[in-house]
Amino acid sequence: MHTKTIAELAKGLRAKEFSSLELTQHYLDRIKQAEILNSFVTVTEQQAIATAKKADEQLASGEGGVLTGIPLAQKDIFCTQDVKTSCGSKMLDNFISPYNATVIEKFNQAGAVMLGKLNMDEFAMGSSNETSFYGPVKNPWDTGTVPGGSSGGSASAVAARLAAGATGTDTGGSIRQPAAFCGITGLKPTYGRVSRYGMIAFASSLDQAGPMTQTVEDAAIMLQTMAGFDVKDSTSVDLPVPDYRAELNNNISGLKIGVIKEFFAEGLDSECAATVETALDEYRKLGAEIKEISMPNLKLSIPVYYVIAPAECSANLSRFDGVRFGYRCENPEDLNDLYIRSRGEGLGAEVKRRILIGTYALSAGYYDAYYIKAQKVRRLISEDFKKAFAEVDVIMGPVTPSTAFGLGEKTGDPIAMYLSDMYTIAVNLAGLPAISVPAGFAGNKPVGLQIIGDYFAESRVLNAAHQYQLVTDWHRRLPEQFA
């Protein structure tokens, strides 16, 4: 059953080929057998079984939607009522959320079964899922390599078929990069398309939730549930949500594809480049037009991001002070000691590094020199995309400069780690939608193809990606150990 997609499982449930309870138990058993991956922080077995039984009753009476009874898993960044929500940090290891994030609430209303909460880089800060308080997640294709981050637990779980689908969040590539490393489909929607209410904030102007699945069709199904305006989120955009599955089968003959020449410059692994080129050839066969474009400001994305994101994180994480909730040091001498030791003991090295960078960039005398200048360059990057989309329908290229690297390989060099997001960060700075789809292998490790769209053009991105999956089978490949 685990080899079936969400769409296939939904069809099977309605045809009574199996029950949601049987399906849920099957996934729970697989989770127990795959503990080596460390994908889950919390497995909500009793809750999942209870939800599955309720889903079976709904389906028996002819009610329910496409996600009713489908076992999914949630990144541990979404507040989940009466379940630990840790954000991969010691700081929140004892935090039981009193409410549901909007995304969680929507999946509950859709009748989806929650298998548990997935491991992640601490407070979503990392590109390898090695900064988690609960230890590193492993890539099911090669357990000696990283799954990517920060949504590494989500990518690992879906790749090993421990869940039919999962949620992730993307601040600088944290859905697309792990999706590429683990050979699955990962969609980052337009900023504001999915509510951020109840999603623990890292960088408020960049964070966006999205689905991580086997196929593009499954991503469309999950996005249909996740998307929509939310009065509880001031960054949520009040626009109607289209039927994402309706346009998946549109003919893409004549589709204008832009290929950014700067993405194929120094830094891109030759095998990854060749794999992406082969994927572009498939689009030529489908009748698409390929055009080289130049976006000269994209090279500034990483320095801009690593001023803006830490600045916002330093503000957002100031609430974790040991006073109201979360970790508190033992026997503080006074309030100052409470703050210093609670934060010092409760936060990890990468989180502290980014808080320090962000606090410095926002400090008197440096605010104009760093933060304001970074925001101005961010505008230039957005303008580059605006000019590009005046000429092309979508933009394609690599997701990552290499395949998954070894565990511990880059932990001692933060700059090298940051560079693994060099092709994804600009999309977040501009707030655009983008997807990573499996495009082949380099040295037996998955390679992803990135497809970027204009604002709220998720349907077009999904259509282009789905048409590619109809003529390839990379998304159907499973790691041998977890087949």
pLDDT at 439 (0 to 100): 98
What pLDDT digit, counting tens, does each position of 333-380 carry? 999 999 999 999 999 999 999 999 999 999 988 999 999 999 999 999
| pTM, rounded to two decimals | 0.96
Q: What is the mean pLDDT of the chain?
A: 96
For residues 282 and 351, give the distance between their C-alpha atoms in angstroms, rounded to a whole number.
41
Q: Is the pLDDT of residue 416 over 90?
A: no
Q: Which residues pair with 165 in a beta bridge?
A: 72, 213
Give me 354's structure tokens: 């980014």
Give burial (CB, 10 Å; 0-12/13-18/19+) of 336.
exposed
Q: Is the pLDDT of residue 69 over 90?
A: yes
Task: Give mean pLDDT, residues 396-409.
Answer: 96
What pLDDT digit, counting tens, does each position of 101-160 carry? 999 999 999 999 999 999 999 999 999 999 999 999 999 999 999 999 999 999 999 999
Q: Is the pLDDT of residue 286 over 90?
A: yes
For residues 352 and 190, give the distance between their C-alpha atoms in angstroms, rounded to a whole number.
29
For residues 235 and 379, give the distance between their C-alpha atoms in angstroms, rounded to a whole number.
18
CA separation, residue 13 to residues 19, 167, 414, 451 (Å): 6, 22, 46, 32
Give me 239's structure tokens: 């626009």
Greatest pairwise CA separation for the chain in angstroms: 70
For residues 62 and 69, give the distance between their C-alpha atoms in angstroms, rounded to a whole number.
13
pLDDT at 332 (0 to 100): 95
Give me 9's structure tokens: 């499982």
Q: Is the pLDDT of residue 265 over 90?
A: no
First to last CA, the chain: 11
For residues 396 and 449, give the distance between their C-alpha atoms in angstroms, rounded to a whole number.
7
For residues 156 and 406, give the distance between their C-alpha atoms in angstroms, rounded to a whole number.
15
Q: Where are the alpha helices (DSSP H) in 130-215?
A: 152-159, 176-182
Q: Is the pLDDT of residue 314 over 90?
A: yes
What SS3 class is residue 100? coil
User: What structural domains does the chain harbor?
Assistant: 6-255+391-482 (3.90.1300.10), 301-373 (no CATH)
266: pLDDT confidence band, cut at 50, 70 and 90? confident
Name the percent of the chain lying above pLDDT 70.
Answer: 100
Task: Give mean pLDDT, residues 274-302.
Answer: 96
Contact 70, 164 (CB under 8 A): yes
Q: Is the preceding peptide bond at 459 cis, omega within 30 degrees of 0?
A: no
At which residue do the structure tokens 């003991």 appear?
A: 345
For residues 318 and 306, give the distance between their C-alpha atoms in angstroms, rounded to a whole number.
18
Contact 224, 458 (CB under 8 A): no
Task: Give mean pLDDT, residues 179-187.
Answer: 98
Name the percent of the chain lying above pLDDT 90.
Answer: 96
Closest listed residue to residue 48, CA positions, set 98, 112, 121: 112
pLDDT at 420 (0 to 100): 86
pLDDT at 267 (0 to 100): 86
Residues sharing a CB contact under 8 Å with residue 116, sequence separation 6 or more, in sequence order: 31, 40, 41, 42, 43, 44, 45, 48, 73, 74
pLDDT at 473 (0 to 100): 97
For residues 179 and 187, give the distance between their C-alpha atoms in angstroms, rounded to a whole number.
9
Q: Is the pLDDT of residue 241 over 90?
A: yes
The DSSP symbol for 167 reads E
pLDDT at 83 (0 to 100): 98
For residues 364 and 361, give the distance between their C-alpha atoms in angstroms, rounded to a whole number.
9
Q: Is the pLDDT of residue 18 over 90?
A: yes
Kindly list the catalytic residues.
75, 150, 174
